[in-house]
Each structure stands twice: as C-alpha cells, then as structure tokens.
Chain A
Amino acid sequence: MAKVLKADGMNKCIGCFTCMLVCAGVNRQNHSISKSAIKVRTSGGLKGKFVADVCIACNDERACAEACPTGVLIPRPGGGVILEPKSCIGCKKCTEACIVSAVFFDDTEGRPIICKHCGMCTRFCPHECLRMEEQDNDI
C-alpha cells in the first residue's frame, strides 16, 4: 500500500531542523537546508509555534500537476506527485499553484523541490512530529 507523509505532530516540534538536514542530504546530496522538501519554520519569531511546510499529498486532484505545462509532475499513487526532472523548464507554475506553499524552488538547479514521501525525515525526527500513513491508491 502507498504511504504518505503526515506532519500532524508539529505541536511537539523542538525546531532542531534534523528533518531538513537529512532530507537535503539524502535526497539532494547537499548540506543546505534550502534544498529540503520539508521546511520547518516558526510562525512569528522563535516564540511562535513551529510549523512544517511540506507536501500534504493531495489525491484525486493535484493542483501542481495541473499547472505544469510540460507534464513532468506525475501523480504518485496514494497522493502527491513525482518529478521527472529531465523535461522540467523551471517555470515555477507548480510553486504558485500549491496553495499550502509546499513546492519549493531550487535556484541553483532551476527546478522545483518535490517531496517524494520517502519517509526519511520521519526516521530522523526525534520527537514524533512526522509520521507515514498508509493510503489507498487513488490512481
């Protein structure tokens, strides 16, 4: 069964950014947190709550894929999309289409950063903020 990432324990977040460092390291082989597909930030300075901007795995209808003029965002079974990078022209239409602001853009590579729901961040979250959930295949 397909699995998707759920960031529904963010009330427990300590803001260590380990998820970002690991996502960028594993998926983009980069030390920069800007390369991560999950972004943890505070709402209103460090005294505010931590929130995670990350793909919420839309199913049935995926706004990012609909907005993509080159069709490189392929619906992923269970929710979300997979990027076929070769034909991506870096137009940023997907980043605008995602209303939860979970599609980031990699300026050095010129293409979007798409969460592939690999679950690596959940394995390195020390406080159970992130988890994987099984989903029916919607495709």
Chain B
Amino acid sequence: MIYEKYIRVLYIDLKDRKIRIEQREDLCEYLGGVGVASKLLEENIKPELSPLHEEQPIILAIGAASSIYPVITKTVAMFYSPLTGELGESYAGGRLALTMLLAGYDAIVIGGKADKPIYMTLNRSNIEFKDARALWGMSSDEAGRVIREREPGGGKRSILRIGPAGENMVSFASVCVDTYRHFGRLGLGAVFGSKNLKAVTIIGDRSIPVKNFKEYFKVYQEIYKKVTDTEIMSKYHDAGTPVNVEPLNEMGGLPTKNLRQNRFEYVEDISGDAFVRNNLVRKMACTGCPVGCIHIGQFRREFGKGYDYESVSVSYDYELIFALGSFLGIKSTDEILQLIEAVEQLGLDAMSTGVVLGWATEAYMEKLLTDRDTIIPLEFGNSSSYNKAIEYLAANENEFYKILSKGSYEAAKKYGGQDYAMTFAKNEMPGYHTGYGALVGAVVGARHSHLCNGGYSIDQSMGAFDKEKLVEGIFKEEKERCMLNSLAICLFARKVYDRETILKVLNAIGHELTDQDLTKIAERIYGTKLRIKERLGFKLKDVKVPKRFFETPGLWGKLDEGLAYELIGMYDERIKTIN
C-alpha cells in the first residue's frame, strides 16, 4: 500500500459471500503487481483441481506506484489458465489501477463460486453482491451499460465484465475493462464464468494525502516531460501500434493466412495508414497516461434493407489487425473492425480467436473438417463466414465449435492438423514471425506471450546471430519484466522507466530501495512463477513446436528445427540458476 509497509489484500469468497482483509508485511518483498499476484496465486492455486474448478482463485493486483506517475496504468490478473493448463497472467489498462488504489486494495483474491449469476460492487468501505441473472447472456457492452446506470461512482469507477463467451467458458474468453481495454489472453473470462461472476465494479473514492510533495512532484514532472516532449512514446500516439503492419510485412515477419505466408499481398489496405485514412475517429488514454495510444476506429454497418445504417466504434491495435486481418486473409479495414466488434461483444480474446480460425480454415480446406462441423464454409478472406464462426464459437454451437472453443491445440489434437495449429505451449501465437527470438521467447516465456520477454524485438535488433547472446537476452528481459510488471508500468513506457527512474519514483514515495533490491525482486518473482509452473506440471522439454513455424521463412529465412530446440534446451539450463 502506498506510503505503508504492508500490502493490503482483499479476499472475497463468492460462495459464502464473505470477505476478509489482510495487511501483509511479508508481501512487500514482492513489491506489488505481478510479484504480489504470483505469490498470492502460489498460495491459493489448487494444482490437483481443474483450472475452472470453483476453488481456483482469481488474483488482481496493482503496483507500488500505480496511477500516481505517468503511464503506470496496468493491473495484472493471475489465474490458472484454462487455455494452457498452466500459469495465467494478463494485463489490462483503463481506469482499473486508479480505482483499486483509491478503493484501498493492492490486491484482490476472488475464490469460490456464486450459486447464481452475480456482479459485485466494491469501494473502500463496502462490498455488495448483486443479482446478475438478467445480465447473463448479455454482450459485454450491454452489461456494462446496465451496470453503469445502476451503480454509483461515475467518473471514478472501473467496470470489469464478461460476455457470452466467458459465460460459456470458452478457454480464451476475455474480460472487458472500461469498454476499450481487456484482460485478453489466456482465458480469465472463462474463470469469471466458472464462478458465475458477470462483472465487478470498483469505485475509487479514498483520499490519499501526498507525503513528500516537493520530491514527488519533481520526479512526476521529469517523467511527464520525458513522456510528452521526447520521441520515445510518439509512435504509440500518432498512428499507434498499427504502424507495425507494413514494416513487419516488408521484413517478412507478418503471419498471414495461418502462417502459410510471411507477407500479405493486400498489406497496404490494412496498414496503420489505411486505418487512419478510413476509420480513425478518436484517441483515448488509460487514466494517468498522457500518451493516449487507444485508437478508436469507426465503420458503417447496414442493419436493414434500404437506407438503414448505424455507425460502430471499436478500438484497434496491431495484434488485432494481425489476428483478425492478415492471419485470416481479410483485406479491408472495415471488415477487420467488424470482426473486432464481434469478438468484443462476445468477450473473446482477439488474438486466440483469429489464430484458432486460421487453423480451422486450413483444416476445412484439407477436409479434416466437414460442412457439418463448421456449419458455414470457412475460407481465407471471407469475413462474413468468420463473423458467423465467431458467434458459433462463443455459443459452443455444436460439438465442433465446443472443441474449437478449447483452443487450437485441443482442436488439432482431435481433428488433426497439429503441424499448423499455431500455438506455443497451447497459447495461440502473436503477430511476429520474426525468428528464433520470437519463437524461443514465446515457448520459454512464463505465460507464452510475446510480452514475456519481447523475443521478437531481439530478432529485430540483434546483429549477427549468436546462440548464447540470444538465450541470455531473452533470459535477462524475462527477468527484468518481472520487476517492471511488479510496478505494473505499461510496457510501452519501458524505455522511459529505466532503473534510475524507477528508483527515483519509489524513493519519492517512501520506498527506500536500491538497484540490487530491484534485481533481487526480479529474481524472486521469476522464481515464484517458475515454481507455480512446475507444480502445474509444465516442462519446457515437453513442448512441441508446430512444423509450420519451420516451413515459412521469417526475417532471416527458414528456421532450423534442431537449432530451435537446442536454444530452448539452453534456456532450460539457464533457468536452473533461479531459485
């Protein structure tokens, strides 16, 4: 807790509708964010029970300096992932971090299962469990609207909610946070659904006096200046992350049509510039971030014959354009936004949804699937089919879609086509087929995300290929990000928050830490995550990488399968130094 020597944890039991608050001094050595969340997950997870068992916990945590400095905007969620069957870790922005801070909770642990659908509203002095039976089945947008109108705290609250996909426990269902942000990856939405928990509203209404104003404001201004007056962050604000579409295509690292290609022939029509030209209507920010990277695109939809149209706005980013665009061969910005809108309303992870449908399309083409399975014909570039397929997926429409909703790994295990079910340790791939860094980074990354260690970035910056250098680079970055995420800094600002800046930030609010302390914190957190993974039975040497990754060239040509496994093996040895 800011200015205190303890971490304030709120434990909620949905079954008995009881709460408990603990002020834990022992958790301070994990700093906050992913550190505290990892420790709480380790304490509360039940490896012997299934990921969606009611006794599994949901952990939410903010960092030691959340929201009071620019761009420290994230909240981490940790859970037992129903998609990978191991470590679940996901980050969301929006207003959530500020509201948790001002509601007075560093971390929230949600356990048990409500007997009927409920939603919760909590603030500094009260927690209410409310009837959500009428909300069950509603889109994430609609549920948000109803709660917004019913609950107090407008302007200083955050509303988390799931859509039908979460209710139906799709393994990659997301949780929507404040309309435009999400806990997207690894299926937190399904865990909400398994607990009959439709939504959580957090109202931040506490007063926190600034302790050492002079020092605090000096550091604040320094960072604000770095964020707004230098080039470090400008690309995120200008055209946003979609500027990556064209350069990645040019380099030959843009996964296209289920990674049958590394370049997309229609790339110009779905580039960052194309979205700016055709759709961009607004930019928004998470609370406390002067950058404003959230890009809102608008498209026109005909809802009736004749002249009946509506305008629809959704947020878009690089990863969504890859997953629901190039990966499915979709060649217009409007069609991509329509698919994003479908995924948004139903409450699915956009990345997994695109990649799962990529596998399904190829499996259908290869006749591993029939029309009876897919209901509609799936083909690259056909967005209206994909729109239907997304609905079927979220609804578990038939046996096939039910299995597909468990992810591409599970679906390929049953129907075949494992060589082109594009996952890393059961998590669907991100939008970077850059080289060994991206591949090995995602396999060894604690949650198999491109954000674990930014391996794709090492591919682009590393000059001559060097095995040791690559493995060491991934290892160092994975560890360092444990520390950054213990503060829950938006990783877009990782170059603003170097160690020196982080120490200033912490010292100005009363945390007397040194550079060595940060190193120890990073190792402690990484060690905790590795222990959890081990308890859940994960072994790096068991991971099989789909063949397609070695067939389609990346930045430096085709990857060698043997070398990739050698690098994974080297990393496996490297982590033995972490306790």
Contacts and interface: CB of A to CB of B under 8 A. Distances in A.
A16 B154 contact: no
B86 to A, nearest CB: 33
Contacts of B548: none
Nearest to B315: A46
Contacts of B224: 18, 124
B288 A21 contact: yes
B292 interface: yes
Given A16-B289, A33-B156, A46-B284, A126 B213 contact: no
A108 B180 contact: no
B210 A31 contact: yes
A124 B225 CA distance: 9
Interface string A115-139: 0000000001011000000000000
A25 B69 CA distance: 11
Nearest to A26: B217
Contacts of A25: 68, 210, 213, 216-217, 220
A93 interface: no
A30 B210 contact: yes
Interface in A37-55: 39-42, 45-47
B547 interface: no
Contacts of B148: 45
B37 interface: no
Interface in A2-57: 14-18, 21-22, 25-26, 29-35, 39-42, 45-47
A112 to B, nearest CB: 15
Contacts of B294: 14
A50 to B, nearest CB: 8
B533 to A, nearest CB: 36
Nearest to B294: A14
Interface string B153-169: 01110000000000000
Nearest to A35: B207
B67 A21 contact: yes
Contacts of A124: 224, 290
Contacts of A17: 98, 285, 287-288
A29 B214 CA distance: 10
Contacts of B313: 47
B559 to A, nearest CB: 40
B240 to A, nearest CB: 12
A127 B294 CA distance: 14
Given A25-B213, A31-B101, A124-B290, A41 B283 contact: no
B290 A126 contact: yes
A134 to B, nearest CB: 25
A34 B156 contact: yes
Given A14-B283, A45-B145, A46-B178, A21 B68 contact: yes
Contact of B179 (A30, A34, A41, A46): A46
Contacts of B284: 14-15, 46
Contacts of A26: 217
Interface string B326-345: 00000000000000000000
A34 B67 contact: no
Contacts of B286: 16
A2 to B, nearest CB: 25
Q: Identify which of A18, A22, A41, A127 gathers the most chain B CB atoms within 10 Å of its CB.
A: A18
B571 to A, nearest CB: 38
Interface in B190-248: 204-210, 213, 216-217, 220, 224, 228
A47 B102 CA distance: 24
B291 A126 contact: yes
Contacts of B285: 14-17
A26 B68 CA distance: 12
Nearest to B290: A126
B297 interface: no
Nearest to B102: A32
A126 B224 CA distance: 9
B70 interface: yes
Contacts of B109: none
Interface of A: 14-18, 21-22, 25-26, 29-35, 39-42, 45-47, 108, 124, 126-127
6 contacts: A16-B287, A17-B98, A29-B210, A31-B101, A32-B207, A127-B292
Given A17-B98, A31-B102, A34-B205, 12 more contacts: A16-B287, A16-B292, A25-B210, A29-B210, A30-B207, A32-B102, A32-B205, A32-B206, A33-B98, A108-B207, A124-B290, A126-B291
In the A-B complex, the 4 residue pairs with the closest CB atoms = A14-B292, A16-B285, A126-B290, A46-B179
